[in-house]
């Protein structure tokens, strides 16, 4: 396969139609994650594991309990190929591409993927992702474990910054001035306090910087 360089992006999936071809554990993981992002899910598989059946019973996804045919992809924006049959995955991928849908190959042949799903850690609005470009998924999972602790540190800090950002958004004449302010406000000293769990002290320093900016304006 020719080397490819990926372009990192986050997808807003609310209301987007997703077809998942396959009914196993990987299909379930994709369905759960995409449901959380607001996607509309249909699963195509003659058989499915209990987790998928439970989602169907709860009315959260639709299940076409039959072998894949190209017509089942019609109208989907994204197609996930996750069966244990490479030939089925290949047919589903090419059918999706012919209809203009983006393809995620969760099983071979992986080279047909239009996008991959990186390992991730989410804490509220804070999201860390890590990918090895498929070279070593096991390393991605290990790095994700390392990021768990960073999520616990920085998510509470983000919650404190959001209202401050709202309070001062009209205090600056340009986006460049806002960026300059935040670069200075989130100084090395402030971030060191955050890592030590001293969020009250860190917030006080940021608010002092806000007061100084207001006094200068």
> Mean pLDDT throughout 136-151?
90
Q: Is the pLDDT of residue 193 over 60?
A: yes
pTM of the model: 0.84
**pLDDT on residue 74:** 95
- The torsion defined by the Cα of 160, 165, 167 and 168, in degrees rounded to 10, comes to 140
**pLDDT on residue 174:** 87
Per-residue model confidence as pLDDT tens digits over 98-130: 999 999 999 999 999 999 999 899 999 999 999
**pLDDT on residue 132:** 86
Q: Where are the domains of the chain?
A: 17-117, 137-216
CATH class of 17-117: alpha beta
Sign of the C-alpha dihedral, residues 181, 184, 189, 192? positive
């Amino acid at each position: 396969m020719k080397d490819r360089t990926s372009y990192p992006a986050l997808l807003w999936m609310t209301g987007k139609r997703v077809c998942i071809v396959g009914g196993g554990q990987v299909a379930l993981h994709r369905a759960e994650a995409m449901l959380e992002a607001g996607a509309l899910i249909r699963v195509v598989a003659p058989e499915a594991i209990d987790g998928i059946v439970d989602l169907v019973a709860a009315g959260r996804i639709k299940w076409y309990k039959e072998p894949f045919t190209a017509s089942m992809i019609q109208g989907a924006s994204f197609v996930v190929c996750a069966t244990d049959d490479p030939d089925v995955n290949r047919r589903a991928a090419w059918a999706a591409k012919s209809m203009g849908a983006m393809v995620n190959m969760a099983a071979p042949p992986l080279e047909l993927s239009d996008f991959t799903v990186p390992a991730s850690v989410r804490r509220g609005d804070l999201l860390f992702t890590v990918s090895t470009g498929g070279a070593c998924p096991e390393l991605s999972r290990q790095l994700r474990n390392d990021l768990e602790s960073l999520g616990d540190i920085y998510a509470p800090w983000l919650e404190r910054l959001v209202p401050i950002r709202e309070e001062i958004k009209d205090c600056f004449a340009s986006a460049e001035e806002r960026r300059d302010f935040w670069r200075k406000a989130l100084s090395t000293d402030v971030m060191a306090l955050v890592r030590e769990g001293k969020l009250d002290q860190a917030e006080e320093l940021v608010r002092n910087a806000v007061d100084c900016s207001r006094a200068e304006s």
